[in-house]
Amino acid sequence: MSRTVPVPHGLPVERDAGPFDPPRRITELRESRPVSPLIFPDGHEGWLVTGYDEVRRLMADTRFSSRQDIGPLHMPYEMPGMPPVTEPSPQEPGLFIGMDPPDHTRLRRMLTGAFTVKRMKMLEEHINDIAERQLDEMARLTPPVDLMKEFALPVPSLVICELLGVPYADRKTFQANSTKFLEKDISLDEKIAAFTGLTTYLSELVTSKRAAPEEDILSDLARNDDLSIEELTGIGFLLLIAGHETTANMLGLGTFALLEHPRRLAELRADPELLPEAVEELLRHLSVVDILYRYATEDIELGGETIGKGSTVLVSLLAANRDPRRFDDPGTLDVHRSARGQLAFGHGVHQCLGQQLARIEMRAGFAGLLRRFPTLELAIPAREVKLKTNMNIYGVHALPVTWTGSAS
Residues that bind ligand HEM (CB under 6 A): 66, 69, 96-97, 108, 238-239, 242-243, 246-247, 250, 288-289, 292, 344-346, 350, 352-354, 357-358
Distances (CA, A) of 331 to 225, 282, 318, 336: 49, 11, 11, 14
Residue 19 or 243 with smaller CB distance to ligand HEM:
243
CB of 375 to ligand HEM, least distance (A): 26
Distances (CA, A) of 362 to 131, 135, 178, 367: 10, 14, 21, 8
Residue 97 or 257 with smaller CB distance to ligand HEM:
97
Residue 364 or 407 with smaller CB distance to ligand HEM:
364
Residue 69 or 150 with smaller CB distance to ligand HEM:
69
CB of 115 to ligand HEM, least distance (A): 7
**Cβ(27)–Cβ(62) under 8 Å?**
no
What is the separation, in whole angstroms, between the first and last Cα of the chain? 55
Round to whole Å and give the CA distance between 144 and 131. Answer: 19
Round to whole Å and give the CA distance between 339 and 361. Answer: 18
Residue 250 or 407 with smaller CB distance to ligand HEM:
250
**Cβ(272)–Cβ(371) under 8 Å?**
yes
CB of 268 to ligand HEM, least distance (A): 18
CB of 58 to ligand HEM, least distance (A): 10
**Cβ(4)–Cβ(32) under 8 Å?**
yes
CB of 32 to ligand HEM, least distance (A): 25
CB of 69 to ligand HEM, least distance (A): 5
Residue 392 or 407 with smaller CB distance to ligand HEM:
392
Residue 69 or 146 with smaller CB distance to ligand HEM:
69
Which residues sit opposite 292 in a β-bridge?
315
Q: Cβ-closest residue to ligand HEM?
A: 354
Residue 99 or 378 with smaller CB distance to ligand HEM:
99
Which residues sit opposite 64 in a β-bridge?
296
Residue 137, number of CB atoms within 10 A of its CB:
11
Strands 45-49 and 312-316, bridge-based pairing: parallel
CB of 292 to ligand HEM, least distance (A): 5
Instruction: Name the strands in the sheet holding 291-296, side by side, starting at the edge strand that comes first in the sequence.
Output: 35-39, 45-49, 312-316, 291-296, 64-65
Round to whole Å and give the CA distance between 256 and 339. Answer: 20
**Phi, psi at residue 36, to the nearest 5°?**
-120, 145
CB of 189 to ligand HEM, least distance (A): 25
Residue 94 or 403 with smaller CB distance to ligand HEM:
94
CB of 360 to ligand HEM, least distance (A): 9
Which residues sit opposite 65 in a β-bridge?
295
CB of 399 to ligand HEM, least distance (A): 16
In whole angstroms, what separates CA 384 from the centre of its chain? 23
Residue 243 or 303 with smaller CB distance to ligand HEM:
243
Round to whole Å and give the CA distance between 166 and 106. Answer: 24
Round to whole Å and give the CA distance between 62 and 320. Answer: 19
Round to whole Å and give the CA distance between 348 and 353. Answer: 11
